Structure 1
C-alpha cells in the first residue's frame, strides 16, 4: 500500500466522520484535469486498497475552445495509460452559459453513474470553491439554500431519490493545498485558460474581488465564509426538517395544491420552504424568490385570486381553502 501523506489522512478522516463513502462502493469521479480533480483522483486511488472501491472516471468536453478539446484528448490518453475505466462526453457545439454547462455536466454524471451502477459521484470542490460560491450567491441575493448549496453531500439529482449521492471529499482543503499536492506528486495538471477570463463573473470574483477583500478586510476570508456556510447549513437543515412535517399537513397531491389555513399559521420561513418545495415539483427549474413570494401572497388573498404566469405555462390560484396549480392547458373551473 502507498504511504499516506497528511493530506490523504485528512481526506480519509472527512470521509469517515461525515460518512461520505463506504468500503467496497463503486465510485464515479468527475475529472476536469485541473488541480482539484487530479488531487481527488490521486487521493481516492491511494486510499482504494484500504477501502476496496471500484473507481470510474468521467471527463466532460464542452467544446468551448480548441484548448478544451485538446485537454479531453490528453486526459483520455492519460486515463488509458493508467488503466482506469473512463468515458469522455462531448457536448453539442452550442454556446452555453455557465448554468447551462453545469446542468449538462450533471446530466452526464447521472447517466454514467447509472450506467456503471455507481452509488456515489465524487467531485473535487474545495473550501476555496465553497467560499466563492457563498459570496457569489450572496451578491446575487439568494436565500439560505443557495448560500449553503456547496455542501459535503447531497443527491446528484435532488428531485430523484434514486439518483447517486454527490460527495465532495476535498471540501476541507484549500485550493493552495491541492496545488501543492499536485506539485508534490508530479501530476500532469492541464491548465484551464478560461479560468483567467474576466468576462466570467465567477473568475472576476476569484481573481480580483476576493484578493481585495482578503487584503483590506479579512486575511482569513475563506475560513470566515466557510464558517458562515457551516453555521447557516445547520439552521437551514432545521427549517427543511420542520417544513417536511408541515408538508404532510398541507400538501394535496390530487389537486395539486396546498391547504391555506395550516400553512398560513406557520412561521414565514416554513411557508417559504413549503412553497419552494411545491413549486419545485411543478417548474422546470427551482423557483426564484419572486416566484415563491407570489405564492405566499395567495395565502391571504381572496378566492379566485391568482399569481402571474410561471415559466413553462401555468399559475397558482386560490380555490376554496387551497392554493392550487393550474396548468396552462387546464380549463378554468368555478369554485365558490
Structure 2
C-alpha cells in the first residue's frame, strides 16, 4: 500500500493559473476495501475570476458546461434586465421554499459549516446553487466535494468543471480520487461516504449534504422493497441522520497529516475526542421532485455535467426510473410518485418513533465494560419479536458502525433462544458479525466485542 504527500493539485485545468488557489494537499492512502485506493484532496479558498480565458480553457475538448455566466456576480452583457428579474424571482421562490423546508425539519443551524457532495449533475448543482443563495441569510460556511470513482474517461474534466463552479460561487473545493475504478455501486457508496465523513471531520464540517430528491426516495423505496427490506430500508433516504462515528484511529485519520494523527491519540494509543465528532448526513431536496429540479436548472441556465450512466438499463435503479415507474404511472396511478413519497414520509415518522422506543430499552438493557458492550437477555426475552429485532440491530450497529442485515439478526435471535425455543440456545458460542465484531452469550447477557485482527 502506498503512502505519499504532494503540494500541487492533480486536476487543475489549463487556464486556471490566475486563480488564487491555496496549496493543495494530496495524500494517497489504503482504504479497507478489496482494492488499492488513493485519496486526493484539493482545496481552493475564496477566489474570484473573470469570464474570458477561463471559460475557453474549461470548454476544451467540447465537454463540460455550456454557460457559466449565470453563476458569476456580474451577468454578461447579453442578459437583459427582464431576464435578470425573472431569474431572480425563480431563484428566490425555490430558495425560500428550501429555507422553509430547512426550518420545518430542523436540518441546519445558523452559522454551520456544510460540506456539499457534488457530482456535476442537475440535482447537486441545483442544491449547491440554492444553498449558496441562502448562505448569507443563514451565515453558513460551505464546502464542495467531488468523489471521482474513475468510471468515466472524462472524470478529470468533470472534476475541473465542478471546481470552477465552486470557484465561481467562492466556495472551498475538495476532491477525492481512487487509484483504480471502483468495481461496484455498493463499494463505491461505502468508499464515498467514508471519504465524505473523513473530510468533514478533518475540516470541521458538521453536516454533509447530498442532493437526493423526492424522486430518488421513491426509487429507493421500490428498490429496497424488491430486496425484502424492512421498515428501515423502505424509508432509508431520511431528511437528516447523525452518522456513526469513525471508531478506529486508522479510520478517523486515514488521510490526515502526522500532527493530526498525533493529536487524536492519547499516550496509551486510545482515541481522544477533538472538536465536534458528530457529523450529520442531510438531504434538503427530499421535498423537490426531479422534474422541479430540472426546471430550476433550465430556467436559470445552470452549468451541468450530465452523468451518462444514469441512462444505463444495466443498473437496477435506472430500470426502476426509466421502465417500472413510467409503467406504473400509465397503468395504475398517474400520481404514483406522490403516493410513494407520502408512504416513505409516513414510514419515516414511524421509524423515528420505534427508534426512540429502542433507545429507551437500550438505556435499561445495555451496559459497557472494558472489552465491549453487554445486553441483558431477560429484558430482550420480554419484548415482542418486532422490538427484539430492532433492539438487536441497533445494539450491534451502534457498536460497529456497520449495517446489520435481517439474516444476522435472526441468527442472533435463534442462537440465543430469544425465539422462545430453549433448545436453540448456544451458550458460550460466538457469532462473527460485520464490522470486525463478534457476540457471545455469557450467562444472562449478550457480550459484544471487537474481533482481534492479526
Distance 2:438 2:145 in 1: 39
Find the residue that maps to 2:285 and give its secondary structure. coil
Contact 1:136 1:205 in 2 (8 A): yes
Q: Which residue of the partner structure matches residue 366 of structure 2?
A: 251
Cα distance per residue 1:170-210 (max 9 Å; x no partner): 11000001101001111111110011111111111111111
Matched, 1:41 2:128: yes
Match of 1:334 in 2: none
- Following the alignment from structure 2 to structure 1, what is the Cα–Cα distance between the partners of residues 209 and 433? 34
Instruction: Identify the range of structure 1 (27-36 vs 152-161) with the bigger mean alpha-carbon deviation.
Output: 152-161
1:183 is aligned to 2:306: no
Any stretches of 5+ residues in structure 1 without a counterpart? Answer: 331-336
Contact 1:29 1:57 in 2 (8 A): yes
Count of equivalent residues: 330
- Whether contact under 8 Å (2:201, 2:277) holds in the other structure is no
Please give the per-residue CA displacement for 1:189-242, whole angstroms capped at 9, x wherever unaligned. 111001111111111111111111111111111111111111111221121111
Equivalent residue, structure 2, for 1:323? 446
Kindly state the Cα deviation for residue 15 of structure 1 after the two structures are TM-superposed. 0.9
Per-residue CA distance 1:94-114 (angstroms, 9 max, x = gap): 333112111211122112222
1:267 aligns with 2:384: yes
**1:154-233 alignment runs, 5 A limit:** 154-157=241-244, 162-233=277-348
Which whole-Å deviations, capped at 9, do the CAs of 1:111-151 have from their partners, x for residues lacking one? Answer: 22223322222211110011111111111111111111111
Which residue does the alignment assign to 1:141? Answer: 228
Match among 184, 193, 210 for residue 123 of structure 1: 210
- Report the TM-score when normalising by structure 1: 0.89
- Do the aligned partners of 1:33 and 1:189 also contact (CA within 8 Å) in 2? yes
> Alpha-carbon deviations, 1:24-79, whole Å to 9, x = none?
22221111111011110111111222222221111111111103332112222333
Q: Which residue of 2 aligns with 1:239?
A: 354
Aligned to 1:29: 116
- Counterpart CA distance in 2 for 1:56 and 1:327 is 35
- Work out the CA distance in 2 between the residues paired with 1:47 and 1:26: 13
**Higher deviation after alignment, 160-169 or 113-122:** 160-169
Matching residue of 2:268: none
Distance, in Å, in 1 between the alignment partners of 2:202 and 2:342 is 37
* Structure 2 gap segments, 5+ residues each: 1-72, 74-87, 248-275
**Alpha-carbon distance between aligned partners in 2 of 1:74 and 1:96, rounded to the nearest angstrom:** 24
Counterpart residue number, 2:140:
53
Q: CA RMSD in A?
A: 2.5
Partner Cα distance (2:172, 2:291) in 1: 29
8 Å CA contact 2:246–2:401 kept in 1: the answer is no
The structure with the greater share of residues assigned to helix is: 1
Aligned to 1:333: none
Contact persistence 1:303–1:319 (CA under 8 A): no
Q: Which has the larger radius of gyration?
A: 2
SS of the counterpart of 2:175?
Answer: strand
1:110 and 1:163 in contact (8 A); partners too: no
Contact 2:132 2:169 in 1 (8 A): no
Deviating 4+ runs (over 6 angstroms) = 158-161
Cα distance, 1:153 vs structure 2: 0.7
- The answer (yes or no) to whether the contact 1:295–1:307 under 8 Å persists in 2 is no
